[in-house]
Structure 1
């Protein structure tokens, strides 16, 4: 099963102005078992591309096919986690996850839905805090609830839009580890697509890193494989010979793109 992005173009038009192209001719295939990260400067279309895969928007041209089905809108086979955890403030963490599961999976029995809710709130260490509302927990805990909510609907494809960008370094590190553990062992998720600004995060998590180019030609500049075997440990990964080489390669590409746009 794959995510296939075929010749995708996307532009936005404001009244009285010319169309602004945010994606031009994107071609990319993400295979089953892959974790792919997207990096690039602000405005290069990373989040827009993720929204298109999630079915939150439609391309002007081209198509996106996930597991053999053309994407025409949101679906339970794809789940998203945003930088802002987007939990409903009046509901408890438990109710937030449960409502998402019931909405996404109306065909599941109540028992199965409740089991999935408990399974993933427990997996991210929040079961004992399940009756608290988002405003009663830290930002890191709220984002863990958002991750649990995404996994609990049983998606085959997980879409992450800078989910840890607003967190402190220690919380971010812990959530990165939890994410990899959930993806690798407990979940039904086969593919992960993640937007990030962090080179270290991309190298730590991804199998391939898609470097996006700046306007006026916002597209895939190049794709960098990460030749570091799993499992990866944040404390030791920097000593791997490929780490510094990959980081330098990514930094050079981003610097060159920034210089060209100046």
Structure 2
């Protein structure tokens, strides 16, 4: 497997439950050899995070720090089975990238598989959503074949989330779910991305668990867009 050179999901102190600044995250990414570091703060409905104006003002931040190409976006909260998210479309379209994820404080718990899948399918049809974040948690029951097929149809990247695979992760059944998802991605020729989901600088660009998983299942490296800047540019539709 070629080296992972991009991290498409991480947070800074403004997300409320993260602990490092933008420059600390950039510096840590450089030390790990990461060429592209995305900072994707939790969107406004996550308790404790930043508000709308933060996302409207991201154009003032330099896109290169410490020799690292920086991307600034949002981790949108999927709010309901209709796939509504918590930033306006016009704001999302101006971000470098938008991830859409399910979190219990926003989507709730005890949802049925059909509700989860309706939400995923609706949000993947939004052209500004480039990535589905951590689709690996059994608390949100998922039909992975249906998810992978929709990702292929819409050109949406499915995320391998390093934080989900931590032994102390609060997410449920993540390794087994990701192995199922990766097998289907191989079958249907669907690309994945890698997100550290770092909430502190020491984890920026940390893919120790993701790399082990990819090696374990011998996943095709050409389907991992974060090993190839040209593929990443194509999927995110952004210059790097």
TM-score band by shorter chain is: 0.3 to 0.5
Higher-RCO chain (CA-CA 8 Å, sequence separation at least 6)? 1
Larger gyration radius, structure 1 or structure 2:
1
TM-score (norm 1): 0.38
TM-score (norm 2): 0.40
